[in-house]
Amino acid sequence: MNSVQNDFDDVGDAVRENRPLRAAREYRISVAIESVDFQPAFVSDPVPTGRQILSAAGLDDRDEITLCAILQSGDFEDIRLDETFDLRGRGAERFIAFRTDRDFKLTLDDRQLVWGMPAIEGHVLYVLSGIGPEQAVFLEVRGGTDRIIEPDDLLDLTEPGIEHFITAKRPDQGYTIIVNSREESVPGKWVTFEQVVQLAFPGAPVESNVIYSMTYRHAESRPHAGELAEGGVVEVKHQGTIFNVTKTVQS
């Protein structure tokens, strides 16, 4: 470790390594301003005031500002300007500041959050939840069906009922394929020749003198493009696998 690194200790590293902060000239924390775009900031005191944290992030403490620490539990804790926050034992490295004195209280899996803007992006909830790709964020609807929130959704926090969020397994929304230029939904990723024929020609009776031929492209399975024969099966993508089916009547 070089001398420059010895000049500071990283609070996040200490939290992840479950160790006490080392004596250092500065301590690195992460601060985001009205977002979850956390940037490094340095404070000289392991027990800084809210004012010192704002100054480290380049914010003017004369403005109306709400400052919150994100605790190890995921809960938000409000920090007043002249209040001290002990970095040595709180398990918190991340802070969010809002240029406002108004805030909206939310819950995310029972964690208490504070958001200082009248709207919040779904992306923010995904970052704060820390969930993986197999899970999703839902708006909890009391007495109704919970609504899935996608990362690019924008939620108006001034509307009633927009306050309780939970995470759960992302529902399987099926697969969308294109058959003869029409979008069709199928329940699973494996599609048979016979299924596609019925989608191309709904209700077509079985006739001995009728032959169907089929090509496909953009499939998940290999080869990604080719011909599919009677009795065949192909693995499709969630969206975008294309089938062309032709019908030939033999004389």
pLDDT tens track of the chain, all 251 residues? 444 445 899 999 998 888 999 999 999 999 999 999 999 999 999 999 999 999 999 998 888 899 999 999 999 999 999 999 999 887 789 999 999 878 999 999 989 999 999 999 999 999 999 988 889 999 999 888 899 898 889 999 999 888 999 999 988 777 889 999 999 988 888 999 999 999 999 887 767 788 999 999 999 999 999 999 988 999 998 888 999 999 998 86
Q: Answer yes or no: are the C-beta atoms of 144 and 209 closer than 8 Å.
A: no
Question: If phi over 0 gives left and psi between -120 and 50 gives alpha, with beta otherwise, what is residue 163?
Answer: alpha
**Closest Cα partner for 208 from 166, 246, 174, 251?**
251
Q: Are strands 66-70 and 94-98 parallel, antiparallel or unpaired?
A: antiparallel
Q: How many Cβ atoms are within 10 Å of 193's Cβ, its own excluded?
A: 19
At the topology level, CATH places domain 175-249 in: Ribosomal Protein L25; Chain P (2.40.240)
* The residue to which tokens 């020609």 are assigned: 201
Q: Which candidate, 94, 128, 96, places its Cα nearest to that of 109?
A: 128
Identical topology for domains 1-101 and 175-249 = no
Residue range 191-210, pLDDT digits in tens? 999 999 999 998 877 677 88
Please give the share of the chain, as a percent, with pLDDT higher than 70.
96
Chain centroid to CA 224? 29
pTM greater than the 0.85 cutoff: no
Domain 1-101 has CATH 3.40.50.720: no
H/E stretch holding 103: none
The Cα–Cα gap between 2 and 82 comes to 35
CATH number of the domain located at residue range(s) 102-171 in this protein? 3.10.20.90
Q: Would you kindly state where each structural domain of the chain is located, as residue ranges?
A: 1-101, 102-171, 175-249
Question: How many alpha carbons lie under 13 Å from residue 160 in its C-beta half-sphere?
Answer: 1
Contact 105, 153 (CB under 8 A): no
